[in-house]
Amino acid sequence: MWKAIGKPENRLDNVKERLKILLLDGFFQLKTFREPYAGIMHGLIFFGFFVLIFGAFFDATEYHITEPLGIAFLRGKVYLIFSLLMELFGLAVLGGIVLALFRRYIQKPDRLGYKGVPDNRPDDAVVLILIGAIIITGFIIEALRIHVTRPPWEVWSIGGWYLSALFSGMNGDAARFWHKFTWWMHALLSLAFIAYIPYSRLIHIITTPANQFFSTLKPKGYLEPIRDFETAESFGVGKLADFTWKQIFDFDACTRCGRCQDGCPAYLSGKKLSPKKFIQDLKKYWEERTVRQGTEGEEKLLPGEVIDLHEIWACTNCMYCMEHCPALIEHVPKVIGLRQYKVLTEADFAPELQLTCRNMENNSNPWGVGAHLRGDWAKDLGIKTLAEDPGVEYLFFVGCSGSFDDRGKKVSVALARILQAAGVSFGILGAEEGCCGDSALRMGNEYLFQTLAQTNIETMKGYGVKKIITACPHGYNTLKKDYPHFGGDFEVYHHTEIIAKLIAEGKIKLTKPLPQVYAYHDSCFLGRYNGIYEAPRTVLKSIPGLKLVEMERCREKGFCCGAGGGRMWMEEDEGERINNMRTDQVIATGADGVAVACPFCLTMITDGLKERKKEETIAALDVAELIWQAMA
């Protein structure tokens, strides 16, 4: 069904790696356990039920098949331990169900709803009651059996043993009748459970592990490039058939757990977008289109008619949703696919983004500053361009912020000074450097991105560039992961990685103490996209006197500054400003300053500090600036 509608995509490569993911995320549920309450709750139900089914199967196999052949395992101590385990796991399932009911119907966390309104559905309760009823009838059957037979070793069946006390006044015939009755109830409930799977949230027992198995093996944040600009009539995702089959399959794997929504900066700042709702709305339409209406009739346009345009444009591409989704659903490429349709097929997108694109087209930077001025920040620093010395070891790819933005230029200067002091052989492209294209790519203008990327690749290859340093995680990510599509294979390093290495090698001497408390803000494109959490922290901790404190939302759970996914260039007129929220989180640490490792984050948090009138008391500095201060 998914393959009949969606585009082809190979998700059967590297089966060994896929099985490993299935084992870790499917069976051991590593992502689910990141949240203690929900993880324990789900774990009790999942592992309990798994062991009970396995035990029942084992028991039935022995009774019906092996025992008649004279082979029996469940005897003596093995039987007692088996009985005890089955009891404990049965009780575990009941415990999990109590936790689930308490959470869903009494605690009511926002993530199980949308904007404070719970989205409980009848099957949420039916499933829990059904599982609970299967377990309880199982205990009753056992208790009635123990009541009648009363063998002393059955004390190992602790649940049934103590429950049997309830039937102490019941005579043998009545107990036998109720035993039979309950056995049939138990059997019918178990069959009902199986029959209910396709019609309820229980389907996730099948679809979620399957989705985990088929999950992407590509680097985090990978975007498949558009390869048919010459021939295609439409670009991006306008209709269901524009998704790949796996992107459609994602809809059926969503369990509505809400983990994605819990840290989504767009949702938390009051915007309409919720990654959970986004997937569920697509799922609803997919079901409508296939199951209820059939594929005949006029199809709705996904961007605009199925998904509100505000939602599509509110996403900062922060990757929180994908990082925390236990079903390994891939939200961000879908958002970008819908944006591509609006930008490339309909040319219908925000005027401020149109201006940004024009600036990139004309001057290869989002501000539209003359491209010839790109290298001016380095004028008096004695830095060679690659045209002057193509033999340097590293290209410092400065990026647009580092080249044109006054605040960003200071970071470029600090980094250049550090590299010079450490004796690193590096050069810049100067006016030959172009915009890396990350913002164009993520706002859906893939055509512009490819043009910018190909120009840069040609220039860099022309100079034989092999290693690149960049201070911008957006440039870092796109140079590392998107440029290889177009023949740009370079070793790319973020400046925090290089600085950490130079400190470790003793090439940087930090002699000046900075006795201050600093919080570190994780850039999404450095942290969640590239797993670089330690390098900036190691660097900061090596500054004498500096005390590093963590924000409540940090590392994998870091809160976006609001600038990713092209949002840097867009108005934010819905809900609260994300950068102000992040700034409030900085202020809450009580730190003297906040260290960042991304020029976009620097701009957003600096603006937030101004907005909160804290710019005089709380400093916002790039890691490189702090290091340079400690060296100078």
Q: Report the DSSP beta bridge partners of residue 494.
A: 470
Q: How far is the CB of 273 from ligand SF4 (least distance, A)?
A: 6
Task: Tell me how far, at minimum, the Cβ of 440 lies from ligand SF4, in Å.
Answer: 18
Sheet holding 426-427, edge to edge: 426-427, 394-396, 467-470, 491-494
CB 99 within 8 A of CB 46: no
Distance CA 487, CA 465 (A): 13
User: Measured from the CB of residue 603, what is the shortest distance to ligand SF4 in angstroms?
Assistant: 18
Whichever of 514 and 598 has its CB closer to ligand SF4, that residue is: 598
List the one residue out of 560, 573, 498 whose CA is nearest residue 528.
Answer: 560
Nearer to ligand SF4, 130 or 268 (CB): 268
Q: Which is nearer to ligand SF4, 312 or 508 (CB)?
A: 312
Give the shortest CB-597-to-ligand SF4 separation in angstroms: 19
Both tokens of 133, joined, read 């009823």
Please identify, using beta-carbon distances, which residue of 108 and 407 lies nearer to ligand SF4.
108
What is the closest distance, in whole angstroms, from the C-beta atom of residue 349 to ligand SF4 in the complex?
Answer: 17
- Given the DSSP bridges, would you call strands 593-596 and 619-622 parallel, antiparallel or unpaired? parallel
CA–CA separation, 79 vs 153, rounded Å?
Answer: 10
Pairing of strands 491-494, 517-520: unpaired
Of 179 and 204, the one with the shorter C-beta distance to ligand SF4 is 204
Spatial neighbors of 49 by CB under 8 A, at least 6 apart, are 93, 131
- Choice between 134 and 319, CB closer to ligand SF4: 319
| Smallest gap from residue 527 Cβ to ligand SF4 (A) | 13
**Which CB atom, from 93 or from 279, has the smaller least distance to ligand SF4?**
279
Residue 427: φ, ψ to 5° = -150, 175
CA–CA separation, 352 and 442 (whole Å): 15
| Smallest gap from residue 322 Cβ to ligand SF4 (A) | 7
Please, which residue, 557 or 612, has the CB nearer to ligand SF4? Answer: 557
Q: Closest separation between CB of residue 318 and ligand SF4, Å?
A: 3
Min separation Cβ 363 and ligand SF4, Å: 29
Closest Cα to residue 141, out of 93, 100, 189, 98? 189
* Sequence-separated (6 or more) residues with CB below 8 Å from residue 132: 93, 94, 97
Give whole-number Cα distances, 107 to 103, 104, 116, 336, in Å.
Answer: 5, 6, 12, 35
Element (H, E) at 149: helix 122-149
At its nearest, how many Å lie between ligand SF4 and the CB of residue 225?
20
Query: What is the nearest approach in angstroms of ligand SF4 to the Cβ of residue 168?
Result: 47
Q: Closest CB to ligand SF4 among 323 and 625?
A: 323
Strands of 517-520's sheet in order across: 547-549, 517-520, 593-596, 619-622
Q: Which is nearer to ligand SF4, 260 or 546 (CB)?
A: 260
Beta bridge partners of 427: 395
**Which residues of this protein are in contact with ligand SF4, per CB under 6 A?**
254-260, 264-266, 273, 275-276, 279, 315-321, 325, 327, 329, 331-332
* Residue 567 CB, nearest approach to ligand SF4 (Å): 9
Residue 362 DSSP one-character state: H
Three-class SS of 371-409: HHHCCHHHCCCCCCECCCCCCCCEEECCHHHHHHCHHHH
**Distance of alpha carbon 21 from its chain centroid, rounded?**
15
Residue in the structure block whose two tokens are 């940090």:
554
Q: Which is nearer to ligand SF4, 280 or 454 (CB)?
A: 280
User: What's the rounded Cα separation, in Å, for the pair 204 and 298?
Assistant: 30
Nearer to ligand SF4, 136 or 266 (CB): 266
| Burial class of residue 446 in the structure, from the number of CB atoms within 10 Å of its CB (0-12 exposed, 13-18 middle, 19+ buried) | buried
Cβ proximity to ligand SF4, 315 vs 360, nearer residue: 315
Shortest Å, Cβ 481 to ligand SF4: 16
How many residues in total does the chain contain?
Answer: 632
Which residue, among 237, 259, 188, has the nearest Cα to 337 in the 3D structure?
Answer: 237
